[in-house]
Homo-oligomer: A and B are copies of this chain.
Amino acid sequence: MKKIFLNESDIPREWYNIVADMPNKPLPPLNPLTKQPVGPEDLSPLFPMELIKQEVSAERYIEIPDQVQEIYKIWRPSPLYRATGLEKLLNAPVKIYYKYEGGSPSGSHKPNTAVAQAYYNKQEGVKKIITETGAGQWGTALSFACAQFGIECDVYMVKVSYNQKPYRKILINTFGAQVYASPSNRTQAGRNILAQDPDSPGSLGIAISEAIEIAAQDEHTKYALGSVLNHVLLHQTIIGREAEKQLEYAGDFPDVIIAPLGGGSNFAGLAFPFLKHKLEGNSNVRCVAVEPASCPKLTRGKFMYDFGDTAGYTPLLPMYTLGHNFKPAATHAGGLRYHGASVLCSQLLKDGLIEASALQQLECFEAGVLFAKAEGIVPAPEANHAIAQVIREAKGLRKKACKKQYYLIYVVMAL
């Protein structure tokens, strides 16, 4: 069997909230002026109340609304593959599974949270959502989700990706949304950056600032973030919960889970449902977050309070960060060019419950080409980071003649 499918009726009906099981709960976000924990009133100009509740919830499971479940069925459940081709090439004591989120309407895991966020906004009467996008995946996902609920959508796309990926703009437009290259001259935040550096390639931090600035100006317009925040990570746990069922059918449990980390949502989505077993003392599963060496917040950043965006519009978040003014190099893995890591992933890393690894771009691309030839799926530059890490580990195990390790990694398609 090459892949393990589930039926639509097997799609989990609840998201998993790891906060319930964390030994050290995440520190609260702070209001940058008062240095006091932010309350719902600080967040309500940007987010609908239901998402604010989820952001601070300590409930272990949160029910997925029926309408969200219905839309999930367009691409869920997603297949879990056995990487038979890669295993053969590596010839090491490893069994490798990969959860493939590339079959979604935008080609990544992003619609898992986009649909949920659009749903809650619609419930609360929001007419328009503004967002940013790095590699274009999140912008496509949100424009798809907004089309499903009849909500308008504007996307600020990091300029380097906007230029590298013109077809992403076409996809977003096809779903009826508008796209602007960021930094733009439509916002004060954008104009400030352009004044300093007219050729700025942009960054997620800048694009977030632009989107927030516009969203905050109109009461019927909200903001949506594609990663980092607790509620985003929550929605992504559908990935890991499905994978858990699939591995159960296969009779396996992973020793190591590997996923790339940009803001933290695909990593958390895949890893948290398995990490739960470790937090409960029932497993020693290693969860490895892989970041680009050019944007190494987990391995070389500091755990501190920092802004989530470049202009300093967001609350202060307790996280591993390179500083909100960090300018990541214009590498191809646009989805990993973010200065910070989600609060939940940061706390778990600080507590030694997850691991981090930073890899060079060329090693990752070589891994992606190898994977494409072996598995027939050309993975995205972001996903290549997870593949490169599993290849590294497999080579290490081969040398040491270790006992077989079971790997679960995250993969999406290149386009």
Binding site for B on A (CB under 8 A): 1-3, 5, 7-8, 70-71, 73-75, 81, 103, 105, 107, 111, 144, 147-148, 167, 171, 174-176, 368-369, 372-373, 375-378, 414-415
Contact = CB atoms under 8 A, between A and B. Distances in A.
A330 B372 CA distance: 31
A7 B2 CA distance: 11
Contact of A71 (B8, B81, B376): B376
Contacts of A144: 376
B373 A176 contact: yes
B373 A2 contact: no
Given A3-B8, A144-B376, 15 more contacts: A2-B74, A3-B74, A5-B5, A74-B376, A75-B376, A105-B377, A107-B415, A111-B376, A147-B373, A148-B376, A171-B378, A171-B414, A174-B372, A174-B378, A415-B415
A2 B375 contact: no
B376 A147 contact: yes
Nearest to A374: B147
B105 A2 contact: no
A372 B3 CA distance: 28
Q: What is the copy number of this chain in the assembly?
A: 2
A373 B414 contact: no
5 contacts: A2-B8, A3-B73, A75-B376, A103-B103, A175-B378
Those 3 A-B pairs whose CB atoms lie nearest each other, nearest first: A2-B73, A105-B376, A415-B415
A6 B147 CA distance: 29
A66 B369 CA distance: 26
A98 to B, nearest CB: 12
A373 B175 contact: yes
A174 B376 contact: no
A176 B368 CA distance: 12
Contacts of A81: 74
A377 B375 CA distance: 24
Contact of A377 (B2, B74, B368): B74
Contacts of A75: 376
B369 A174 contact: yes
Contacts of A368: 174
A84 to B, nearest CB: 9
Nearest to A414: B171
A71 B376 CA distance: 9
A104 to B, nearest CB: 9
Nearest to A146: B373
